[in-house]
Structure 1
Amino acid sequence: MNWAKINVEKQLIKARNKKITEEGLLHQVKKILEQDEKKENEILKKIEENDGQSISNDFNFELLESDKIYHIEQIKNICITYRLRFLNSHYFKAELPYEAIQQIKQLQKKHQITLSGLKIIAPSKSFRLENADDPLLFAPIGNDYYYLIHKWGNDLHPLRKLYAWPFKSLENLILLIIALSIGITALLPDDLFSKNQTTAEFIMIAFFMVKWIGGMAIFYGFKKGKNFNSAIWNSKYYNA
């Protein structure tokens, strides 16, 4: 059996080329990671410095997913219904999840643009609000349309709509106050003020209940700086 002889020079060249390839590969990987980190830092910086001045991004509409496009009126309606805010990403106090950063990078690469004017839907407590559970990140397309980039966190509590209903408008709050007043009046003993309570007395007691509960609601609203959903959905102020 004849064994092939080993050419030492060829082995040296092979070893040298292998070493260069590995070093080149490591250098290339390091360079890619550094560029990737630089892009992520640029995205985070842009989000933190976002002043909301940009009104649109130059998307390639053929590459957009239609089910992720929303008009400002649809966003406003959801915010009012569930007492949420739609504000510039600059006011968002939590860190964006890694998945959201990756989605932004993919969109920018796909559309060959740098996203700006990003906005987020979330409860008030998720924002750094100036004193006067389910975030969604959007980018403006233009003409009052927004593109949903990423959603993270937990879904809203199923009773949040019920909780937010009284704050949806002044009419809703008045209806709640009247309903509570009638309910509390009905629970009072019939002989609390007289032996035989008449309908007129019931209405009078209910009227005083409306004044009492309404007064408490007004006091609480002013003290806590609360306002109706329709007034705060896009306000950056805590007590708007």
Structure 2
Amino acid sequence: MLLKKTNIHEKLISQRKKSGSYTDPVAFANLLLAEDENKRTFIRKKLGSKSEITENTFDFDLLETERIFHLSQIKAICIDYRLRFLDSHLYKLPFPEEAVSKIKNLEKAHQTQLSGFKMIAPSKVFQLKKYNDPLLFAPLGNDYYYLIHKWGNDLHPLRKWLVLPFRNLGTLILFFLMLSAFCCLLVPETFLGKSDTATMRFISFLFIFKYWCAIGIYYAVSRGKNFNVNIWNSDFGG
């Protein structure tokens, strides 16, 4: 008679039963789920809390290089598209579960606890319950940040050009000059008189330019607006 081969897995199960330490698989699964939810709750709390941490401990061999960005690169994008780069606790909406999962997986893979989270998003994300294209980062140190997750809707393809006048004072003045020149060309010659129309058109241009500047100043003061270069990392209005 051939002897039956020994299955070590079965022997282990048998030994566990003999020792009286048998674990109910349902109870064990519930325990794992509870531990997982506790971790997720702790991560959500960190995302919604202010932190002074400016550096996290990562295993750089496990990082994806295409997700690493320097502060100067983040600043340039924020200025071009009129976005903010602010602490995650200023975000007004619940964070998606996928973002929480990615943080949990990163912490497990790198054997660390992440904090000091930052976000790139339009101003309204931090003021109103609307969102477009938020990006979540964790600081690496030395002004480098690691992109954890992106969600929401993509920005309008023309956003960069629509917000270009608000980049800085120079771009706003240039925009008003071009707008005034265009408006001046629309003024009919009959309105300028029959003699020396070039001089009258130039005078009209100056009046139109002053008009647009006045509107711009009034709008900026009344709405508390500021230039992209000044607000990209500011949590104040603008």
Q: State the TM-score, normalized to the length of structure 2.
A: 0.88
TM superposition shift of 1:128: 3.6
Regions of 4+ moved over 6 Å = 20-23
Tell me the SS of whatever aligns to 2:101: helix
Query: Aligned equivalents of 1:90 and 1:76: distance in 2?
Result: 20
- CA deviation string 1:124-172 (max 9, x = no partner): 000049xxx1000000000000000001111110010011100111111
Tell me the SS of whatever aligns to 1:114: coil
2:5 equivalent in structure 1: none
Tell me the SS of whatever aligns to 1:140: strand
The Cα RMSD (Å) is 1.8
Query: Aligned equivalents of 1:156 and 1:226: distance in 2?
Result: 21
Q: Does 1:159 align with 2:158?
A: yes
- CA deviation string 1:18-74 (max 9, x = no partner): xx99961111110011011100110011111123x1010000111111010000000
Query: Aligned equivalents of 2:69 and 2:181: distance in 1?
Result: 41
Cα pair distance change 1:78/1:196, threshold 3 Å: same
Identity %: 47
2:43 equivalent in structure 1: 43
1:27 equivalent in structure 2: 27
1:233 equivalent in structure 2: 232
Unaligned runs of 5+ in 2: 1-13
1:212 equivalent in structure 2: 211
1:186 equivalent in structure 2: 185
TM superposition shift of 1:196: 4.1
2:95 equivalent in structure 1: 96
1:121-200 matches, cutoff 5 A: 121-128=120-127, 133-196=132-195, 198-200=197-199
| Aligned residues between the structures | 218
1:2-81 matches, cutoff 5 A: 24-51=24-51, 53-81=52-80
Which shows bigger deviation, 136-145 or 192-201? 192-201
- CA deviation string 1:190-237 (max 9, x = no partner): 111313452111111100111000000000000000000010000011
1:10 equivalent in structure 2: none
Query: Aligned equivalents of 2:237 and 2:185: distance in 1?
Result: 37
2:105 equivalent in structure 1: 106
